[in-house]
Amino acid sequence: MASADLTSKQDAERNLDEGGLAHAPPHPLVMLLRRLAGRVVAVVTTLLGLLFLTFSMGRLLPADPVLAITGAEVSKEVYDRVYNELGLGRPIWVQFLNYVQKVATGDLGTSATTGQPILTDLLTIFPATIELAVIAMIVGALVGVPLGITAAVRRGTIIDHIARIIALAGHSIPIFWTGLMALFVFYAKLKLVGASGRVDVFYEGLVTPVTGFLLIDSAIERQWDVFRSALGHIILPGTILGYYSVAYISRMSRSFMLEQLGQEYIITARAKGLGLRKVVWRHAFRNIRVQLLTIMALTFGGLLEGAVLIETVFGWPGLGQYLTRGLQMNDMNVVMGAVLTIGAVFLTINILSDVLYRILDPRTR
């Protein structure tokens, strides 16, 4: 007994701090503030890294920003004046700080191609890319998730092999080739869809932009002819872009479901007589939906990259075509602004997916 009392006394002394007070767990509010502070530091650090990368890209690429503004036929006096106005003669760290300050105030520079502020151009064209990516994401989710889960449940069958072939083709075939072949078949031969652009030429300008999404704006104004034309133009590029998300989502859905189907709770549920459909969709799917949410969020960000090629093929007036035109014209302000926008969207999507992950899965809180 004396030995046990001595041990208890020593444990109690070890739990006392220097002031004689027992260590207590931090207050929940303090823990929340710590997490928020860590998140803010991570976001700010990531944004600064993104700004540094875009700034470095603008300085390292073999394109003269002065000539992009003045043109090739320019006198040395004019060249030097524009060079100094752009601050290109200052130390590189001063240029970077000025760039960060301008971006923080929403000043992304002026496009030498359109003559308008980059931010104005982005606010005009970016909704078109978002609209295309949303259609592609809907196609990817509605087809990819059931296909992947069915392939996992029917592992080793013909359905599983077909799903794996679809995923392999989606990762292997270049998206621009698929787009050209689809245009040749569905537009040139079958006349089932529209050609380039978001809408037929004689419908342009009939709808007042409210949200920037042509399908929504035309439905709000009950311009159903414009709506049908816009739907006919977006369905093909959206489906092709969505097919590449189907390839990734189906593969990951299959992998997640196979992992769950091997768990003990699934075996127990089957042993109790529950039907396969109920076990898969009511029990196993519930445990992979959070993982699928993260995958879909990252896929949506990846669709913005794929949109660069698909918008060029289909003449879609979005961020991808804007970036391509900027590269062709050596307009580095456009390139930097477009890349920064894509990076900011990726960062935002990651933050939102992490928040939703914590909401849907209490174990991560």
Q: Is 238 exposed, middle or buried (0-12, 13-18, 19+ CB in 10 A)?
A: buried
Q: Where in the chain is the domain with CATH 1.10.3720.10?
A: 118-364
Q: What is the DSSP letter of 364?
A: G
Residues of the chain with pLDDT under 50: 1-4, 6, 9, 12, 16-22
Query: Rounded to the nearest 5 degrees, what angle is found at the Cα of 118, between the Cα atoms of 207 and 324?
Result: 85
CA–CA dist 285, 266 (Å, integer) = 11
User: CB under 8 Å to 4, separation ≥6 — which residues?
Assistant: none
Report the pLDDT value the prediction gives residue 19, as an integer from 0 to 100.
Answer: 46
Q: What is the pLDDT of residues 10-68, one digit of tens each?
A: 554 555 444 444 455 666 666 767 777 777 777 778 878 878 887 777 677 666 667 66
Q: What is the pLDDT of residues 222-236, one digit of tens each?
A: 889 989 988 988 999
- For the domain covering 118-364, report its CATH number: 1.10.3720.10
Q: Which residues pair with 117 in a beta bridge?
A: 110
| Residue listed under structure tokens 């390292």 | 60
Please state the φ and ψ torsions of residue 155, each to the nearest 5 degrees.
-55, 135
Report the pLDDT value the prediction gives residue 18, as an integer from 0 to 100.
Answer: 46
Report the pLDDT value the prediction gives residue 4, as an integer from 0 to 100.
Answer: 47
Report the pLDDT value the prediction gives residue 17, as an integer from 0 to 100.
Answer: 47
CA–CA dist 274, 153 (Å, integer) = 15
Cβ atoms of residues 147 and 246 within 8 Å: yes
Cβ atoms of residues 338 and 319 within 8 Å: yes
Q: Which is nearest to 58 in space by CA: 341, 338, 333, 319? A: 333
